């Protein structure tokens, strides 16, 4: 992590709890190792160095990112002297592998660093599985700054929207893009009253965790004047069947770190952070473009 890049204590703690792979170095190590055996070919006759280099290039543009703005609305049922908020967390996945992602894990942590106000996360939910976000959210801006701060930059420029990221990965803006978690198995839990964890998976139909956006949610009860920050971590995996048999056999001879990285499904990761999320008037629509 660059020492000259500002990072909040909340994001630093989350990054320490959920450290990212240095995927770039792992890929370089794998390709360099294959290049040291230029005459070695797999059972199907393909050169391993070429196969790994092609695979790295194909996956280089993958995008996993939180949106820059959370969707926050007042919720009913708060105790006296406090308010309840429904906080929805949009995230976007753009895989470039044959079968998309088969599992996605997400962690969210909250803190009240400035005023020390009291709060608690009282529920963690997947969005209704039949619900889709408005197509206006297609223009939502993705958050890449936090990933860079945490030392895990994603390969899209600051200010990218869902549409521009789609164009970068797939060559088109996909104007009919839909956000849904339909039929995906979702597990969610509140952690320590200050955060939440989610796991989305559908190994039988991995295309359902492919080019989609997903919206997770928590309910927070906080003092009426509480100032709240949030940090998030998302990690997406795939099954290893998208690797050729030659590459799979070669990976068995690599170091433990590289082998574990591929055995876990070559995860793609991102961090997000949001400051003073309860500031403003949420009676109509949340801050940010198109209700992102």
Q: Chain-wide mean pLDDT for the chain? A: 77
pLDDT bucket at 185, cuts 50 / 70 / 90:
low
Q: What is the pLDDT of residues 76-127, one digit of tens each?
A: 888 888 899 999 898 888 877 666 777 889 999 999 987 778 999 999 987 5
The Cβ of residue 1 has, within 10 Å, a number of other Cβ atoms equal to 11
Closest residue by Cα to residue 66 from 129, 192, 182, 156:
156
Q: Which residue has the higher pLDDT, 176 or 220?
A: 220
Closest residue by Cα to residue 74 from 283, 224, 287:
283
* 283 has pLDDT over 50: yes
Q: What contacts 271, CB < 8 A, 6 or more positions away?
A: 11, 14, 15, 20, 66, 146, 147, 149, 150, 152, 231, 232, 233
* 129 has pLDDT over 90: no
Q: What is the pLDDT of residues 200-256, one digit of tens each?
A: 876 555 455 555 567 788 999 999 888 999 999 999 887 766 666 667 777 776 777
* 152 has pLDDT over 80: yes
So what's the pLDDT on residue 266? 83
* 291 has pLDDT over 50: no
The reported pTM is: 0.83
Task: Tell me the C-alpha to C-alpha distance, in Å, between residue 9 and each of 93, 150, 188, 227, 275.
Answer: 27, 11, 25, 15, 12
């Amino acid at each position: 992590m660059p020492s000259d890049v500002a990072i909040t204590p909340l994001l630093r703690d989350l990054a320490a709890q959920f450290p990212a792979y240095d995927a770039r170095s792992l890929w370089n190590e794998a390709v360099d190792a294959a290049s040291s055996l230029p005459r070695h070919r797999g059972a199907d006759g393909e050169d391993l160095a070429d196969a790994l280099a092609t695979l790295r290039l194909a996956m280089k543009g993958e995008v996993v990112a939180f949106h820059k703005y959370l969707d926050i609305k007042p919720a009913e049922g708060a105790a006296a002297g406090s308010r309840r908020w429904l906080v929805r967390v949009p995230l976007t996945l753009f895989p470039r592998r044959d079968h998309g992602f088969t599992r996605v894990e997400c962690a969210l942590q909250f803190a009240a660093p400035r005023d020390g106000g009291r709060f608690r996360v009282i529920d963690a939910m997947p969005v209704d599985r039949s619900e889709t976000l408005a197509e206006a959210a297609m223009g939502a801006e993705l958050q890449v700054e936090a990933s860079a701060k945490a030392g895990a930059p994603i390969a899209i420029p600051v200010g990218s929207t869902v549409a521009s990221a789609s164009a970068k990965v797939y060559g088109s803006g996909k104007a009919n893009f839909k956000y849904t978690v339909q039929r995906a198995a979702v597990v969610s839990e509140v952690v320590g009253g200050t955060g939440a964890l989610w796991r989305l998976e559908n190994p039988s139909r991995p295309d359902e965790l492919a080019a989609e956006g997903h919206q997770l949610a928590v309910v927070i009860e906080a003092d009426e004047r509480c100032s709240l920050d949030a940090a998030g971590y998302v990690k997406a995996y795939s099954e290893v069947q998208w690797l050729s048999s030659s590459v799979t056999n070669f990976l068995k001879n690599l170091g433990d770190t590289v082998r574990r990285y591929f055995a876990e499904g070559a995860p793609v990761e991102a961090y997000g952070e949001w400051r003073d999320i309860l500031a403003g008037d949420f009676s109509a629509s949340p801050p940010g473009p198109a209700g992102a």
